[in-house]
Amino acid sequence: MNENTEIPLPKLNFTPDGDLIIKPSETSSEKDFDFFIGKWNLHNKKLQSRFTNCTTWIEFNSTQEMYPILNGLGNIDNFLAEFDGEPFEGMSLRLFNPKTRLWSIYWSDSNTGVLDPPVSGFFENNIGHFFTKDVHEGKEIIMVFRWDVRDKDNPIWSQACSMDKGLNWEWNWYMYMSKML
């Protein structure tokens, strides 16, 4: 499966206080996620553990359904899977800010019931990059979500983390999507 590692990540910029600076592309719009409306089958490939030089991938199938909200300025999806015989549900809330022209993507799941801090970003040339600062096992990291929608019928979502402010990245999750008929 294509893991779209040939696509370079945008260079990160920070304020003097260490906050991420994210500027939209010229084409960033509330229509960026319209391709994702509907029901999808997903094949997931998730690294068993992060930042441990792990090479073991866990693979599983899931489904996802997305629908628009707020007259097109946002959308919500439900991610359904099963882990060790137990049902798992996740959800994404995506909001487009027409003033900044940036998307914010929030995640929550049935394990926590809490919205994670958002990843923020934009699409350019059918590739979306969304970043946030986060903490993993007590250490500050940068996280990126990438949406590769060059093939709108088979988009690829992926996630990577960096412990050195974006100099090196560990890709730890891929979702290969196909639209349900």
Q: Annotate 42-111 with DSSP letters as a single string.
A: EEEEEESSSSS----EEEEEEEEEEEEEGGGTEEEEEEEEEETTEEEEEEEEEEEETTTTEEEEEEEETT
CATH class of 20-179: mainly beta
pLDDT at 4 over 60: no
The phi and psi torsions of 70 (rounded to 5 degrees) equal 55, 45
Q: Which of 66-70, 136-140, 154-158 has the lowest mean pLDDT?
A: 136-140
Helix (H, G, I), strand (E, B) or coil at 34: helix
Q: What residue spans define the domains of the chain? A: 20-179
Residue % of the chain over a pLDDT of 70: 97
Give per-residue pLDDT as tens, 69-126.
999 999 999 999 998 888 999 999 999 999 999 999 999 999 999 999 999 999 999 9
Residue 128: CA count within 13 A, CB half-sphere: 29
The phi and psi torsions of 9 (rounded to 5 degrees) equal -85, 145
Give per-residue pLDDT as tens, 21-36.
999 999 999 999 999 9
